[in-house]
A and B are shown apart, each in its own frame.
Chain A
Amino acid sequence: MQSDCYKNGYFNIQDIMASQERISCKFEIEIPNMGFLDSSSHDSNLKVGSKLDLPYWLIKAIYNEKFKFVNIDLPKWYKKFYHDILEADACVVDLRKMGPYYYDFGVLLLNLVETDIGLNIAKTLLSCFRSRFRRIMDLSAQTDHRDLYRAISKLDYTETEMYKAGQLDANGFIRWQRREFCKLLPSIIVTANKNKRKRTDSNGD
C-alpha cells in the first residue's frame, strides 16, 4: 500500500478532524462483507451502485492510483458554482457553513481528484484565502468584542486559529506598552479551574 502523507504530522488533531469530512461516492463493484456500511440494505455485501457518504480516510483507501473501486462526487462547496461565488467576493461567504475545515479538507481533496480539477480547487482556495486574509488581520487587531462576533462566526477553523494568534499578539503588544509583560502570572490551569469553581458555587446558591 502506498504511504500516506500526513500534511501536518501524524498527531495533528486538526488534520484528523479534517480527514473525517465526508464525501459522497458510488460503488462500481460489489464489495463483500461490507454491507453494514449501508444502513438502508440488509445484505451482507455492498451492492454495485449503492451511494454512500464515507469519510475521506476510507475513500482514500479504495480510490487512488492503484484502485478505483468507487466513483466520487465532489462536495458541492468545491465545485465550479461555488468557485464563482468565491471569486465574486470571498469576504462575505460563510466558510464555517461550508465545512469548518474548508481549507484543510480542500487540500486533502487534491489527493483524490484529477490534476486539472485539483488545480482549479487549489487556485480557488489560494485566491479565497488571499482576499480574506487582510480582513482577518484587521479583525484580530480590534479589541472590541461586540461587533466581532458576527464576523468571527464566518471564519473556518484555520482562519479562526489565525485570528486567535493575531489577537494574542495584539494583546501582548498592549501589555508590553503598559509594561505588564514582566509580571508573574498564575498558571492558566489554575485560573481556568478557579473560574470554574466560582461558576459552580454561584449556581449552588
Chain B
Amino acid sequence: MLCQKSFELIKQLDSNFSNAHELSPFNEDNVRYTFEECKTLFAQNQIDVQPVLQGDNSNLPTIQMRHAALQRNKRCLLTYVYTRMNWVASLRFELATVVAPKHIKANMSDLEVVWFQKYSKTLANYMKSLSQATQTNSGYIYPIDLTQYTKPPKSLFIHVRCLKDYGEFELSDGHTVSLVKDSQHYLLASDVQDLIKQGILEHID
C-alpha cells in the first residue's frame, strides 16, 4: 500500500505525545523506506509523463495518484521531523539545561542532537544580546535568562527540600550550599528553579 510507512511515523508521533511526554526513538528505517518510495514514484512518473506531453492522456490518472502519494509522503515526513524538532526545542525551556538527559538523547537522531546544540547556542547568544541592551550608565549589566520565571514568582525566597544527593551548589551571591538528600533550605527562587524543574529539589510551602 502506498505511503504506509510514512503514516506509521505519524501514528508513532500521535501515540507518543498524547499519552506520555517522551520522545520515541528516531525511526530511521521508516524514514529511509519512505525516501526510497518517493524516489521510485518520481522516477516512474518521469517515464509516464512523456506520452502525456505528446497528447496521450491515458496515463494521467496514474500520474495523479503517484503525485498525490509523493505529496502525502512529503507531508508526513516533514510533520515527523518538525514535531520532533519543536519537542526538542521545548527541552531547553522545560529542563533549563543545555545537555539533554541521557534517556532522551539516546532517542534523538544525530542531526537532532546537533540541532539541539545549535539551538541552545543561538538562544544563549540572543539572551546575551538582550542582557547587553540593559547596560546602565554605571556599567552594570542585568543578566536576562528567558528560561527563568515561566510562572510569575510569588516570593523571592522559597523553602526547598532535596530529593536526591546533588553535592555542592554555588549560589548567585558566591556562597555554596551542600545539597544532601532530605535536607531543607531557604534559598533564592531564581537560583533553584532550574533544579526544581529537573526534579532534584522539591518546592515546599
Contacts and interface: CB of A to CB of B under 8 A. Distances in A.
A159 to B, nearest CB: 14
Contacts of A192: 20-22
B198 A34 contact: no
A183 B94 CA distance: 16
B21 A16 contact: no
A32 B158 contact: no
Interface of B: 1-3, 7, 10-11, 13-14, 17, 20-22, 44, 48, 58-62, 64-65, 67-69, 71-72, 75-76, 78-79, 82-83, 91, 94-95, 101, 103-104, 151-154, 158, 189, 193, 196-199, 202-203, 205
B75 A33 contact: no
For chain A, give the interface size range: 35 or more
B10 to A, nearest CB: 5
Given A182-B152, A187-B199, A20 B7 contact: yes
A72 to B, nearest CB: 15
B64 A190 contact: no
Nearest to A188: B21
B25 to A, nearest CB: 15
Contact of A187 (B189, B198, B203): B198
B62 A33 contact: yes
B64 to A, nearest CB: 5
A112 B109 CA distance: 39
Nearest to B72: A57
Given A11-B79, A186-B198, A187-B199, A60 B68 contact: yes
A61 interface: yes
Contacts of B75: 10, 16
Nearest to A9: B79
Interface of A: 1, 4, 10-13, 16-17, 20, 29, 31-34, 37, 55, 57-58, 60-62, 67, 69, 181-194, 196
Contact of A16 (B58, B76, B104): B76
Given A11-B82, A61-B68, A190-B95, 16 more contacts: A10-B78, A16-B10, A17-B14, A34-B61, A37-B2, A61-B65, A182-B154, A184-B189, A184-B193, A187-B197, A188-B94, A189-B21, A190-B199, A191-B199, A192-B21, A193-B103
A204 B7 CA distance: 35
A69 B57 CA distance: 13
Cβ-closest 5 pairs across A and B: A61-B68, A190-B199, A182-B154, A186-B199, A184-B203
A189 B48 CA distance: 50
Contacts of B104: 189
A185 B151 CA distance: 10
Given A1-B67, A11-B82, A58-B65, A193 B22 contact: yes
B94 A189 contact: yes
Given A33-B48, A183-B203, A62 B65 contact: yes
Nearest to A32: B62
A39 B190 CA distance: 63
Given A16-B10, A186-B197, A187-B197, A62 B21 contact: no
